[in-house]
Structure 1
């Protein structure tokens, strides 16, 4: 597990792209988010991260329905992206915005064509009762590690040969 002393979940990967390209690639959530992570009644057609503070993070279903599961809190290319995690311990979207957590992703150059990407999911305790189970759920192989593995695969396709 990669749980910090404060209860945050932290994962890190290195990609072979310059910082700007690594940031841009991460914001293409449609290429990163697994389709099986779905709260809609229909299959997901697209996952969208609106690229501005106050923007939504949502899934659009094949029937046009929408499930907003996050809000863009920080959009500071090419260094930092943060969004709320509006999914509760029951794995459903919460309408109580005081019961949400935050996912921050930082992009640090590690040479001209390499970037270290750190994802920290913090303030999980804000979700209330059951938050520890959700914390453990995002830390397992099919949680944030799966998103980052998909991101690494996507960036490998984008990297110059």
Structure 2
């Protein structure tokens, strides 16, 4: 399921979902908490993921007390075909505040037919994170990384 396309700087993961493309896009962007691995948050008690679905928006974790932690900036929204955001998380798994040190996540949604969608997620420019970027590449590209999230997306979005 995980295929590094440029093993030095990028990781690509794909999954086919038994649901229409519009639905899969909506689950990915508007119901992020249903598929995001609960063990992969910067806040200890994250209960929601807030996606401001517009270029210039953000992806923010929200914990039970209402504290917020922005982990990404939305770059492109082309419903239902494409969603692109920055990865504002450092190799130390902390918020990265320097935009030049953030990678990008490009997600393509392709209708295979009226009831099936292919999702291809490419996490690009991981080397922009600086020292330790290889550990991040190995983490997001490994068995516990984006592959887990897309498997969870398949289950969450395929329940239509």
Superposition TM-score tier, normalisation by shorter sequence: over 0.9
Which residue of 2 is the match for residue 112 of structure 1? 114
In the alignment, the residues of structure 1 paired with residue 17 and residue 97 of structure 2 have an alpha-carbon distance, to the nearest angstrom, of 35
By how many angstroms is 1:130 displaced? Answer: 1.1
3-state DSSP class of the match of 1:157? Answer: coil
How far apart are 1:7 and its partner, in Å?
A: 2.3
1:35 is aligned, of 33, 38, 59, to 38
* Matched position secondary structure for 2:3: coil
In angstroms, what is the RMSD of aligned CA positions? 1.2
Superposed structure 1 runs of 4+ greater than 4 Å apart: none
Gaps of 5+ in 1: none
- Shift in Å, 1:29: 0.8
Counterpart of 1:17 in structure 2 is 19
Structure 1 residue 26, shift from structure 2 partner: 1.0
Scaled by the length of structure 1, the TM-score of the pair is: 0.93
Q: Cα distance, 1:156 vs. partner?
A: 2.0
CA–CA separation in structure 2 for the residues paired with 1:86 and 1:116: 26
Match for residue 76 of structure 1 among 71, 78, 81: 78
Of stretches 145-154 and 28-37 in structure 1, the one that deviates more from structure 2 is 28-37
- Aligned match of 2:158: 156
Whether the aligned pair in 2 keeps the contact of 1:35 and 1:43 (CA below 8 Å) is no
Count the aligned residue pairs: 157
Structure 2 runs not aligned, ≥5 long: none
The CA deviation string for residues 58-96 of structure 1, in whole angstroms up to 9 with x for no partner, is 110111111100011111101000110000111111111
